[in-house]
Structure 1
Amino acid sequence: MESHYYNVGINWENSRKGILCSPELNKKNSVCIEVATPPEFPKGIEGVWSPEHLFVAAISGCLMTTFLAIAENSTLDFTSFSCKTKGKMEMVEGKLMMSEILLKPTVVIHNEMYRDKAIRILKKAEDACLISNSVKSKITMEINIEVTPMLIETK
């Protein structure tokens, strides 16, 4: 695969808040995101995406998109994917960092016979996620597979 570049720009708006945009995305739908200092820091703002949230979201989103690609190529029959993700920020060697990320993906399948395949694909997705491979945080995953039988209407 050849190199790709992903561009973003941020402009300070006021206080501890700015607007984050991407020229590639703005061509299509003009979506920008407010970004602010999180409330754990002085003058932080509640209710606005923070760089820390976006960091954790990038890892979670990468797991999902990588899972979807591998599941499609592996013809895994599933009905739902969701993932709750938690990042732990702490002081390490005198510097604040995201030391740990806990991914808690849930995949819903119709048949118990697909459980092992779903687990294998989730593990492959976590291993292949380029965002996870680009950070030094410890990343762990708690996998949850649910089986919901398919209902078929007979009349």
Structure 2
Amino acid sequence: MPRTHHYEVQVTWTGNTGPGTTGYRDYARDHDVTAVDTPAKPPLPGTADPAFRGVAERWNPEELLVASLSQCHMLWYLALCSQAGVVVTAYTDRPSGTMVETPEGSGRFTEVTLRPEVTIADPDLIDKATGFHDKAHEMCFIANSVNFPVHATPTIKPA
């Protein structure tokens, strides 16, 4: 029987500059994302992409989607390596995503590319370590939930 997990956050708009949403340019897109069940987590300062009147200093949903895909892949990859005796000593990723806007203003992601750079302890296990990226992609909850391709172009090097 499958296990079910539930996630709940609170998103609070903090961008009322006085007149509310009286006009498209009359309000900020600022908001806070907070954890409902774990109040000790720091809030994430959110906004819209600067292309949609957001501010660059805050996280936008598009960045968070790309980050979620990267985080999920990394966590699965680390677990798979750990279970197989491949010791990872460093992991970093510079993922990027492409979103296309439609003429009526909506849009959708067309792809995300992950670029994990992984350092492992044993140089003899580079091929084995490389193969776990495919399995991590298969297992990733977030990648399994999106309707666009998620690519990974990993680099593995010895410590």
**TM-score when normalising by structure 1:** 0.87
Deviations 1:113-135 (CA, angstroms, capped at 9, x unpaired): 11111111121111110100100
TM-score (norm 2): 0.85
Aligned AA for 2:54? G
Q: How many pairs were matched up? A: 145
Which among 85, 93, 107 is matched to residue 118 of structure 2?
A: 107
The question of whether the paired residues in 2 share the 8 Å contact of 1:77 and 1:114 is answered with: no
Q: Partner amino acid for 1:63?
A: H
| Counterpart contact for 1:25–1:31, Cα < 8 Å | no
Runs of 5+ unmatched residues, structure 2? 16-27
**What is the percentage of aligned positions where both structures have the same residue?**
26
For residues 5 and 81 of structure 1, the distance between their equivalents in structure 2, rounded to whole angstroms, comes to 28
Greater Cα offset, 128-137 or 108-117: 108-117
**1:35-70 deviation per Cα after TM superposition (whole angstroms, max 9, x unaligned):** 1011111x2211110011111111001011111211
Write out per-residue CA displacement over residues 90-117 of structure 1, whole angstroms, 9 at most, x where no aligned residue. Answer: 1369641111100001111233211111
4+ residue runs of structure 1 moved beyond 4 angstroms? none
Give 1 or 2: higher strand fraction.
1
Could you say what the CA RMSD is over the residues aligned between the two structures, in angstroms?
A: 1.6
> Take 2:61 and 2:79, find their aligned partners in 1: how far apart are those partners?
27
Local SS of the residue matching 2:126: helix
Q: Which runs of 5+ in 1 are unaligned?
A: 149-155
Cα distance in 1, alignment partners of residues 94 and 62 from structure 2: 15
